Amino acid sequence: MNAEEARKRIEELSGKINDHNYRYYVLTDPVISDFEFDQLVEELISLEKRFPQFLDKNSPSQRVGGQITKKFPAVKHKYPMLSLSNTYSREELNAFDQRVRKALDESYEYVCELKFDGVAIGLTYRQGELQRGVTRGDGVQGDEITTNIKTIPSIPLKLEPIKDVPEFEVRGEVYMPHKSFMQLNKAKEDKGEAIFANPRNAAAGSLKLQDSALVARRHLDCFIYGVLGEDLPFDNHWDSLSTLKKWGFKVSDRAAKCTGIEEVFRFITNIEADRGHLPFDIDGVVIKVNSYRQQEKLGYTSKFPRWAISYKFQAERGLTKLIDVVYQVGRTGAVTPVAVLEPVTIAGSTVRRASLYNQDRMEELGLHKKDSVYVEKGGDIIPKIVGVDKSLRPADASPVRFVENCPECGTSLNRDHGEAAHYCPNSGECPPQIQGRIEHFISRRAMNIDSLGQGKTELLIRKGKISNIADLYDLSHDDLIGLEKTITDPQTGKSRTLSFREKTVSNILDAIRASKEVLFERVLYALGVRHLGETMARKLARHFGNIDNLMRAGREELLQVDDVGDKVASSIVAHFNDPENRAILDRLRKAGLIFSCEETPASSSKDNLSGMAFVISGVFHQHSRDEIRQRIENFGGEVKSSVSSKTDYLVAGENMGPEKRKKAEALGVPVISEEELLNMMNSIL
């Protein structure tokens, strides 16, 4: 492919990807599969790497992120981002309506919209292209977060140029959908990290991450609700929303034009009833006078527009009894208090437990045994105790004290300076820490020893077969065969027997052997160093190259790595200074795990696949596509995005696109599985 052909193909792919993004994220009407879409993006990225002169700053490839932003410069808003006055009562809404009627002395309309619970942003477009994205800040100036904004698929990077409006600014709300929020908090829990209290905080934190690739994985979304500029082709807010949709922006369909305050109340009632079924958070309804001329006539106070108001919903809460406070111990030793409650229905679901987060939160609430407590769902998702009805407190109730010793092993708890959580330091013998570390080590994104899931690790620990991650590599057939455990389903009460038979044992031992080929960055993550997540482990592995360089690094040297802060640096130093951790690491080395970026699995050479071209397609079980790509490249091979006569092998996973297989068969290109690829690597050696 020559340069001119590449330019045309890049333009064609960019147009197709932008159109499919619009159909998927704005119209919710996709016309191709996720796999087919991913293939288009992969081809575009590949071409842009080969022909960087055609890489556009607003190419759809930029949505995957990867740029690092050290600072978010302050930018003054061209149009101030004003707040709205809030009310929680319909009486105050009536009063607002009376002020509008008196000031206008003519007929008027309202537009009612959802009040999204996220992060307000302003997006500037010039000649149809996104120029910058800025947070609200203090309303006068905010932080420029353009690189991170580009990772949000529903925000158009390029529009058809709008001749009559060469430059304009849209206002919107970036939010985190409930599904993304639950996935994010689950991942943070698995890593032993503090979870986000609600989707709004998660969205705000995500937008200020320095690594835009990490922002892309947070799956943020954005609704646009306003536009500002010169000579706009409409004279009222309702028409502006319709025009924004035509221009390609994601605008909520949950809006209404109302001719009086009674219609406004009906809209509020309907939205409040549906609120619990929305896939994102709202905390009220925004009411605006529709006509721009009338808005100007009504004007502004020193803080708020007189033509708009925000009606905020009261958070749904329930009153119930505190039965007990129990304590959970995570894999890092963090101890979390959890309130056990009499069942109470809130926002359509039954709540029996609520996190109390830490000792400070418990003391702030002033909890006593047998207290009657008010419970809300934080962000309508996570149950939390928000208050105590002291008038219902029994006379003999005693304060709830945070435990001083680990509830699992009895060891005295520690609380480091600047930390909110208490930790059990008995990492080597505390049962939930042992099990948590092992389960983290074998997890899919770590060592991927999936045959040991479903309660098998608990059985091995209880039977004394393993007590740390290094013990896994000493397991033999005789250690496993015949082990049994009865498992009871807590929902149904039904029991079943988990048995280690020949097939089970064979699968476990095969998976353990296969884990010796896992790359260094995932091995580092699998070690379970406190505060060390997957992304940071990758950065450290690539920065230091091998485990010895990392272990020798002091705190100051660690702080020189992008995004490494005091907490992470101190945790890494402490982990590798611990004699028990170093002993386990030595055993893992002897077992054959990879502790260097330069190592390739079972190979002293990096040329075993030299001259071979591969195409990877589909979903794989043992490794991700990125990992397979890296393995091929480590062995000297080359990975292409599309099948051609120059392709040596098509590596096929599940749900592979039929067109690639057809083309491979037509060209006589061998189609191999993941297992066959790994066997081929080993057989070449």
Same-domain pairing of 437 and 341: no
Token duo for residue 604: 């002293």
Same-domain pairing of 323 and 303: no
What's the domain count of the chain?
A: 6
Say how many residues make up the chain. 685
Report the half-sphere exposure of 561 (CA within 13 A, side-chain side).
Answer: 23
> Does residue 604 form part of some domain?
no
Amino acid identity, position 634: N
pLDDT band at 604 (very low <50, low <70, confident <90, very high): very low
pLDDT per position as a tens digit, 410-441: 999 998 877 888 999 988 889 889 998 999 99
Q: Which of 24-33, 120-129, 399-408 has the lowest mean pLDDT?
A: 24-33
The per-residue pLDDT for 381 is: 58
Same-domain pairing of 494 and 438: yes
Same-domain pairing of 86 and 225: yes
Whether 396 contacts 387, CB under 8 Å:
no
* Burial group, residue 482, by CB count within 10 angstroms (0-12, 13-18, 19+): exposed
Q: How far is CA 122 from the centre of its chain?
A: 23
Domain boundary among 486, 517, 548: 517
Q: CA-CA distance, 159 to 18, in Å (whole number)?
A: 9
The per-residue pLDDT for 349 is: 67
Nearest to 125, CA basis, from 150, 98, 89:
150
Confidence check: pLDDT of 380 > 60? no
Confidence check: pLDDT of 470 > 70? yes
Q: How many CB atoms lie within 10 A of CB 98?
A: 11
- What DSSP element (H or E) covers 171? strand 167-175
- pTM equals 0.54
Q: Known catalytic residues?
A: 115
pLDDT per position as a tens digit, 536-589: 888 899 899 999 999 999 989 999 887 788 889 999 999 999 999 999 999 999
The per-residue pLDDT for 379 is: 47
Domain boundary among 392, 419, 454: 392
Angle at 219 between CA 218 and CA 222, to 5 degrees: 120
* Burial group, residue 186, by CB count within 10 angstroms (0-12, 13-18, 19+): exposed
pLDDT per position as a tens digit, 37-63: 778 888 888 888 888 888 887 787 777
Confidence check: pLDDT of 313 > 90? no
Residue 194 CB contacts under 8 Å (≥ 6 apart), including other chains: 188, 420, 421
> Does residue 412 form part of some domain?
no
The bridge status of strand 141-143 relative to strand 74-76 is: antiparallel
pLDDT band at 682 (very low <50, low <70, confident <90, very high): low
Torsions phi, psi for 379 (to 5 deg): 60, 25
User: What CATH code is carried by the domain that includes residue 306?
Assistant: 3.30.470.30
Amino acid identity, position 161: P
Same-domain pairing of 579 and 632: no
Mean pLDDT score across all residues of the chain: 85
Same-domain pairing of 169 and 78: yes
The per-residue pLDDT for 602 is: 44
Q: Which of 115-119, 533-537, 541-545, 624-628 has the lowest mean pLDDT?
A: 624-628
> Does residue 602 form part of some domain?
no
Domain boundary among 392, 416, 449: 392
Same-domain pairing of 525 and 508: no
Residue 605 CB contacts under 8 Å (≥ 6 apart), including other chains: 685
Q: What DSSP string runs through 431-445?
A: HHHHHHHHHHHHSTT
**Pick the residue with more confidence: 604 or 256?**
256
> Does residue 668 form part of some domain?
yes
pLDDT band at 386 (very low <50, low <70, confident <90, very high): confident
Same-domain pairing of 121 and 235: yes
Same-domain pairing of 179 and 210: yes
- What DSSP element (H or E) covers 104? helix 90-104
Which alpha helices (DSSP H) does 398-476 contain, by range? 431-442, 456-462
**Pick the residue with more confidence: 28 or 344?**
344
The percent of residues in the chain predicted with pLDDT above 70, rounded, is: 92
- Alpha carbon separation from 220 to 39, 143, 155, 203, 675 (Å, rounded): 22, 18, 10, 7, 35
**Pick the residue with more confidence: 316 or 147?**
147
Confidence check: pLDDT of 457 > 90? no
> Does residue 321 form part of some domain?
yes
Same-domain pairing of 266 and 324: no
Report the half-sphere exposure of 318 (CA within 13 A, side-chain side).
Answer: 22
Domain, as residue range, for 667: 613-684
Confidence check: pLDDT of 138 > 80? no
- What DSSP element (H or E) covers 568? helix 566-577
Same-domain pairing of 301 and 166: yes
Whether 522 contacts 445, CB under 8 Å:
yes
> Does residue 636 form part of some domain?
yes
Same-domain pairing of 621 and 531: no
DSSP letter at 78 equals S
- Alpha carbon separation from 460 to 434, 437, 453, 511, 591 (Å, rounded): 11, 14, 11, 16, 19
User: What CATH code is carried by the domain that includes residue 330?
Assistant: 2.40.50.140
Instruction: Decide: helix, strand or coil at residue 109.
Output: coil
The per-residue pLDDT for 622 is: 66
The per-residue pLDDT for 403 is: 94
User: What CATH code is carried by the domain that includes residue 566?
Assistant: 1.10.150.20
Token duo for residue 460: 């091995």
Amino acid identity, position 661: R
Confidence check: pLDDT of 523 > 90? yes
Q: CA-CA distance, 438 to 452, in Å (whole number)?
A: 10
User: What CATH code is carried by the domain that includes residue 20?
Assistant: 1.10.287.610
